[in-house]
Amino acid sequence: MIMESKVVFIGAGNMAEAIVSGMVAANFCAPEKIIMTDVRPERLAELEAEYGVSTSTDNSVVKNAEIVLLAVKPQVMADVLKGFAPVLRKETLVISIAAGIPTVKIEALLGGNRRVVRVMPNTPALVGQGASALAAGANADEADLEVAEAILGCVGLTGRVEENEIDAVTALSGSGPAYVFYLLEGMLAAADKMGLDKETARKLALKTVEGAARLMEDSGEAADVLRAKVTSKGGTTEAAIRSMDEAGVKEAIIQALLAAQKRSVELSNAEIFSTAKIA
């Protein structure tokens, strides 16, 4: 057992299940010390049976928590936080995986002066292959970051960033899996046009993405160096890359990530989470 803390998950959706599943598999703590809350009793019954965790439909179970992990959708966060703020102990560490909600807003909704760590995970966490960026709020310390790293580390890689970098991380790794799926959509549409069997094409394309990522990781080489290595003059890869260059694909990708970052900033500033509205 890594820890004996009582960890309460607020919201028992997809991401919460992924993290809990990883924590149970890693023997992070006794499963019954993990308490999951949700508005859907049938969902909680399912998770209780699957992982041996404790559950409740009442968010006030946070009163005995050492760690609270916020995993509800951003739209309901303000109401959820205001709901349990009166019973939350000052020393409880709050970890939020909600997109677009700054720690300062979470602190304000909880009555101020709280230890908050903000995390931007991504959906490969669902299969234990996530990439999570963690940022400490003003009152969170090194030990708090380590606890958050230990939890998110159960579902993949973790890295620390400053909170003002979270919007960039959201654009890079948060939304990132969708860019890879988009690339795969294109590759598989082409495979179809070329008459390849769907299942075979799917397997080959998936292994290509996975293998390319592994090659880049293991070799430590830059993407453009690896690309140059597989691009012989007058060859097939060169024909493909030339076609992409002519279509401005790389610049479009850069602009796409900048658009995602901009949207992340807009959402963080949205009125729904504003501290003015909390008062």
Ligand X SMILES: NC(=O)c1ccc[n+]([C@@H]2O[C@H](COP(=O)([O-])OP(=O)(O)OC[C@H]3O[C@@H](n4cnc5c(N)ncnc54)[C@H](OP(=O)(O)O)[C@@H]3O)[C@@H](O)[C@H]2O)c1
Binding site for ligand X (CB under 6 A): 10-16, 37-40, 43, 59, 71-74, 76, 80, 97-99, 120-123, 174
- Smallest gap from residue 222 Cβ to ligand X (A): 26
Q: How far is the CB of 74 from ligand X (least distance, A)?
A: 5
Of 110 and 201, nearer to ligand X (C-beta) is: 110
**Closest CB to ligand X among 119 and 145?**
119
User: By beta-carbon distance, which residue lies closest to ligand X?
Assistant: 13
Q: How far is the CB of 215 from ligand X (least distance, A)?
A: 25
Looking at the Cβ atoms of 71 and 116, the one nearer to ligand X is 71
Q: How far is the CB of 190 from ligand X (least distance, A)?
A: 27
- CB 21, min distance to ligand X, A: 12
Q: Where are the alpha helices (DSSP H) in the chain?
A: 14-25, 41-51, 74-84, 103-109, 142-152, 166-169, 176-193, 198-219, 223-229, 236-246, 249-268, 275-278
Specify the DSSP class assigned to residue 170.
Answer: I
Q: Which is nearer to ligand X, 122 or 261 (CB)?
A: 122
- Between the alpha carbon of residue 124 and those of residues 2, 15, 17, 86, 131, the distances in Å are 23, 10, 13, 35, 8
Query: Cα(138)–Cα(252) distance, rounded to whole angstroms?
Result: 36
Q: Which is nearer to ligand X, 21 or 37 (CB)?
A: 37
Comparing CB distances to ligand X, the nearer of 76 and 249 is 76
Sheet holding 7-10, edge to edge: 54-56, 34-37, 7-10, 67-70, 93-96, 115-120, 130-136, 156-160
Q: What is the token pair recorded at 170? A: 């959201």
Instruction: Kindly give, in sequence order, each residue whose CB lies less than 8 Å from that of residue 134, ignoring residues fewer than 6 positions away.
Output: 117, 118, 119, 145, 148, 149, 152, 158, 159, 160, 161
Shortest approach of ligand X to residue 122 CB, angstroms? 4
